Amino acid sequence: MLNPADMFKVAGVFKKFQSNHPKVMSFISHELSTSIPVGSVIEMTVTKPGEQPVTTNLRVLQDDIELIETIKGLHQ
């Protein structure tokens, strides 16, 4: 479990991430505000300079939905 000092540190880093990447945060907020049904596929691609893109995906499970709901509850 995180101690309070670590929680404040994480909150600060997260706020900076939100500021640096507003489109990503807007996208995530929108998608999490609507239900993502079990069986949905989330795909991620990383493209490093000078390298080929690497892509992976995950099929959303009920456990994933429960994790998202838990995280949403912590944010409130």
Distance, in Å, from the CA atom of 22 to the CA atom of 2, rounded to the nearest integer, reads 26
**Are residues 55 and 43 in contact, defined by beta-carbon separation less than 8 angstroms?**
yes
pLDDT band (50, 70, 90) for residue 13: very high
Higher pLDDT, 53 or 2: 53
pLDDT value for 2: 65
**Are residues 44 and 55 in contact, defined by beta-carbon separation less than 8 angstroms?**
yes
For the chain, helix (H) and strand (E) counts, in that order, are 3, 2
Distance, in Å, from the CA atom of 73 to the CA atom of 28, rounded to the nearest integer, reads 16
Q: Look at the pTM and tell me if it is higher than 0.95.
A: no
For the chain, the domains span 1-34, 39-76
**pLDDT tens digits, one per residue of 17-73:** 999 999 998 888 888 778 889 999 999 999 999 999 999 999 999 998 888 888 777
pLDDT value for 58: 95
* DSSP 8-state code for residue 34: S
